[in-house]
Structure 1
C-alpha cells in the first residue's frame, strides 16, 4: 500500500465540521485524548506498517521542533 497524499475526502467541509464538533465542549486533556483515540482507530483501519511509518515521518517533518529557552 502506498500513502495517498492527494485530496481524497468525498465531503471535506462536512468532515471538517464533524471534526470540530467532536471537540466541542471538551477541555484540552479530553480533546487530546479523543484525538489520540481517533488516530489509533484510523491507524488500525489502515493497518499497513510502512504506510503508517511514512505518514508519521511526513507529519513530523512538517513541523518545527520547539526549542528550549536559554536560561
Structure 2
C-alpha cells in the first residue's frame, strides 16, 4: 500500500465512533488529550509505513474533514 486511504474504510464505523467516545467518557481535557496521543502512536506503530504516516500528517494538517 503506497497511498493513504481517505475514503470510508472501517467496518462498523459508527460502533467504533461510539466506542471511542465511551473510552473518553469521564476524562478531563488533559487525560483525553493524552489518550488521543497514545492512540495516535499505537495506530502509527501498527501502520508502520513512514510514507503513509507522512501523508496522514499532511491530510490532518489541512484541517478539513477527511
Task: Give the TM-score taking structure 2 as reference length.
Answer: 0.90
CA distance in 1, matches of 2:59, 2:10: 19
The number of residues matched between the two structures is 63
Unaligned regions of 5+ residues in structure 1, if any?
64-71
Alignment partner, residue 29 of structure 1: 30
Task: Using the TM superposition, give the Cα deviation of residue 39 of structure 1 relative to its aligned residue in structure 2, in angstroms.
Answer: 0.3
Task: Check if 1:12 corresponds to 2:13.
Answer: yes
Higher-Rg member (1/2) = 1
**C-alpha root-mean-square deviation of aligned residues, in Å?**
1.0
Task: Give the TM-score taking structure 1 as reference length.
Answer: 0.84
Greater relative contact order (Cα 8 A, min sep 6): structure 1 or 2? 2
Unaligned regions of 5+ residues in structure 2, if any?
none
Residues 1-71 of structure 1 mapped to structure 2, 5 A cutoff: 1-62=2-63
